[in-house]
Amino acid sequence: MGFAYFWVLLILLGFCFQAKILNSQSLACNSNDLRALEGFLNGLESGIDGWGSNSSSDCCSWDGVICEPWQSLGVENSTLPSNRVVRLELGRRRLKGKLSESLASLDQLRILNISNNFIRGSLPIKLFHLQNLEVLDLSYNEIAGSIPVDANLPSIWFLDISENYFWGSIGAGICNNSTRIRVLNLSLNYFSGKFPAGFGNCSSLEHLSLNSNHLSGSLAEDLFWLQNLSRLNLGDNRLSGPLSMGIGNLSNLVQIDISLNAFSGFLPDVFLAFGKLQSLSAHSNNFTGCLPVSLLNSPTIYMLNLRNNSMDGPIDLNCSAMVRLTSLHLSSNQFHGPIPDNLPLCRELKTVNLARINFSSQIPESFKNFQTLSCLSLSNSSLHNISAALGILQQCRNLSTLVLTMNFYEEEMPSDLTLQFESLEVLIIANCKLTGLIPPWLSNSTKLQLLDLSWNHLSGTIPVRFGSLEFLFYLDLSNNSLSGEIPRSLTQLPSFIYRDILLKEPIADFPLFVRRNQIAMGLQYNKVWSFRPTLDLSYNMFTSIIWPEFGNLKQLHVLDLQMNNLSGPIPMLSGMRSLETLDLSHNSLSGTIPRSLVNLNFLSKFSVAYNHLSGSIPLEGQFQTFPSSSFEGNKGLCGEPSILAQVEPEATIPEPSIAPGPSSSSLPLKL
């Protein structure tokens, strides 16, 4: 009897279900859900196309709202069948305004995605109690709040609240009840306090991102229970202590980032346990000791970044094992030399950063065969013999970025006409006190984009053929002993005029350090494409006039010609529409300041101090913002710049023997 009843019920249920599917179009959206969505909409400053009072009252037809038919069966107060909102897909719509509490009453919600908007306000606590919620993506908004201690999201598998204003403790308590969670991304918030125990209970976790918060303390050991963890990102916090051997338990790790913390002690020798590890970034910590043998034999690792630690010992890679290694960053450590000559045997190796390691050696002969090499930095590594170095490196046919700053002291720049660097895009050999000429062979490096030979003792003239380097957009020859005319051909550099050239970044993750000026002591690092088009010939002995054709350089941002012996008038220059810095100080320029300069809307640094200028100082446009120090030392100039604020002048005479740091433009330094 009971059995028969069961079958009847099942058939009836089947009918109901089918009927629901058939009717789903005609079902109205549930009135609770309608109210919840209207509440959400009311909180927004911007509307959502196709939503609201003028649209259909069937909220399930609104853009980004996905419903499913739903009926509460068997409950005594059975409601009418209706459509319930199960997904809200509103990512990347430029929505502005407050996050409404009412969203949390969408109790059938499985996916809530409002990522990449401008949504503010505090977090509705109840959102963390939605029993059916599987995916919650609030990333890239301006939401503030903390994760409730009693959070209960039993169905969740993807939770991303990165890049918001969340604060408080990191809330590993979410792992108590969310045992299915696979992706947890809390990065780029303001979480603080000690790294908590509790993540070990998120046993299905695959991606854990806590980077760029203010977490401190050492890692809780239960983190190392997470057998399925493949991405662990803890970078840019204040974590400390040694890295425990327990991490070797995480045999599925593919990516580890613990950079920019205060971890110390030895790197545990557990890398044989990682059968899938592709990338290890542990730069900018306080690790000591040798490179672990298991790491130097990893057949899977692709990117290894340990720069800026205190590690020592030799660099002894087993290239016949490290068959995937592509990118190697070991700079700023206390490793001892010589430069490992077996690197060319690592058959995928493209990027090598061994700067600021005291090698006291030459570039190994074997580098002649380094055909994969694309980016190399060895700045400040006590190298000698620049002729041999360039002779060897020119054989690396794929070399596109070469940084050799602060080496080869007082050697002579080779001008050997047989040198050829066909693939070169970035060349930085600054602060070496090199004598000799600007290498004429560089004119044949037709792909050159960025050239910095500043802070040397180079003499002679700039090769006229530099004017035909069609990709060159950053030229810094400042602080040398160059003389003669500034080649007129430089006013024809296409990148200074059009910049429609699509610069490709030679290789990601190879930042160049720059120092903005004397006062900002810190090093800033930048990607090549973020450098501003610059011509810096300051602190030399050029004697020409300033060519009127400079006025055509629409795309040039920085023009620094200070401390030369330039004469004649300042040309109109009104076409230099992108110019931000113009420094012509300490020359022998005469005539007046052309009034057309007031039309340079982006000009923020300007100096004509210490010349022989006369006439009146323009008072319009950006000239209202320049201090009087921009004009001093010109006997014939009259009128006062409109602000007389006592702006501290920047220290003008840099000290070449200390770290380079010229006047106003960016100086790529080392890497």
Ligand X SMILES: *[C@@H]1O[C@H](CO)[C@@H](O)[C@H](O)[C@H]1NC(C)=O
Residues at the contact surface with ligand X, assessed by CB under 6 A: 52, 54, 76-77, 91-92, 113, 115-116, 135, 137, 139, 149-150, 152, 158, 162-163, 173, 176-177, 185, 187-188, 197-198, 201, 203-204, 207, 209, 221-222, 224-225, 227-228, 231, 246, 249, 262, 264, 284-286, 288, 308, 310, 417, 440-441, 443-444, 523
Q: How far is the CB of 200 from ligand X (least distance, A)?
A: 6
Give 149 or 643: the residue with its C-beta nearer to ligand X: 149
Q: How far is the CB of 533 from ligand X (least distance, A)?
A: 25
590: helix, strand or coil: strand
Q: How far is the CB of 376 from ligand X (least distance, A)?
A: 18
CA distances from 609 to 366, 586, 617 (A): 52, 6, 12
Give 54 or 646: the residue with its C-beta nearer to ligand X: 54
Q: Looking at 418-493, which runs of residues are DSSP E strands? A: 426-428, 450-452, 459-460, 474-476, 481-484
Residue 181, token pair as written in the block: 């969670």
Give the rounded distance of the alpha carbon of 208 from its chain centre: 20
Distance CA 214, CA 262 (A): 12
Distance CA 49, CA 55 (A): 9
Give 29 or 202: the residue with its C-beta nearer to ligand X: 202
Q: How far is the CB of 290 from ligand X (least distance, A)?
A: 15
Q: What residues have CB less than 8 Å from 648, skipping those under 6 apart?
A: none
CA distances from 175 to 154, 249, 631 (A): 9, 20, 65
Give 121 or 463: the residue with its C-beta nearer to ligand X: 463
Give 417 or 520: the residue with its C-beta nearer to ligand X: 417
Q: In the sheet that 588-591 helps form, which strands lie side by side, from edge to edge?
A: 567-569, 588-591, 612-616, 636-638
Give 175 or 558: the residue with its C-beta nearer to ligand X: 175
Q: Closest residue (Cβ) to ligand X?
A: 173
Give 284 or 327: the residue with its C-beta nearer to ligand X: 284
Q: How far is the CB of 487 from ligand X (least distance, A)?
A: 15
Q: Are strands 667-668 and 512-515 parallel, antiparallel or unpaired?
A: antiparallel
Q: How far is the CB of 264 from ligand X (least distance, A)?
A: 6
Give 55 or 552: the residue with its C-beta nearer to ligand X: 55
CA distances from 616 to 46, 194, 619, 620, 634 (A): 51, 63, 9, 12, 11
Q: How many residues does the chain have?
A: 671
Give 155 or 444: the residue with its C-beta nearer to ligand X: 444
Q: How far is the CB of 397 from ligand X (least distance, A)?
A: 14
Give 372 or 381: the residue with its C-beta nearer to ligand X: 381
Q: How far is the CB of 188 from ligand X (least distance, A)?
A: 5
H helix or E strand, kind and range, residue 262: strand 262-266
Distance CA 532, CA 510 (A): 17
Distance CA 141, CA 97 (A): 10
Q: How far is the CB of 375 from ligand X (least distance, A)?
A: 17
Torsion of CA 199, 205, 211, 216, to 10 degrees: 10
Q: How far is the CB of 329 from ligand X (least distance, A)?
A: 11
Residue 441, token pair as written in the block: 């062979």
For 381-402, give one letter per residue: b (16+ CB within 10 A) or e.
bbbeebeebbbbbbebeebbbb
Q: What residues have CB less than 8 Å from 10, skipping those under 6 apart?
A: none
Q: How far is the CB of 465 from ligand X (least distance, A)?
A: 7
Q: How far is the CB of 135 from ligand X (least distance, A)?
A: 5
Give 271 or 631: the residue with its C-beta nearer to ligand X: 271
Tell me if 359 sits within 8 A of 339, measured CB to CB. yes
Q: Are strands 534-536 and 401-403 parallel, antiparallel or unpaired?
A: unpaired
181: helix, strand or coil: coil
Q: How far is the CB of 559 from ligand X (least distance, A)?
A: 27
Q: How far is the CB of 176 from ligand X (least distance, A)?
A: 4
Give 168 or 440: the residue with its C-beta nearer to ligand X: 440
Distance CA 184, CA 670 (A): 36
Q: How far is the CB of 155 from ligand X (least distance, A)?
A: 11
Give 441 or 606: the residue with its C-beta nearer to ligand X: 441
HSE of 172 in the Cβ direction (CA atoms, 13 Å)? 21
Give 440 or 633: the residue with its C-beta nearer to ligand X: 440
Distance CA 40, CA 103 (A): 6
Give 288 or 574: the residue with its C-beta nearer to ligand X: 288
CA angle at 170 for the pair 168 and 175, rounded to the nearest 5°? 140
Give the rounded distance of the alpha carbon of 535 from its chain centre: 24
Nearest of 45, 60, 58, 66 to residue 112 by alpha carbon: 66
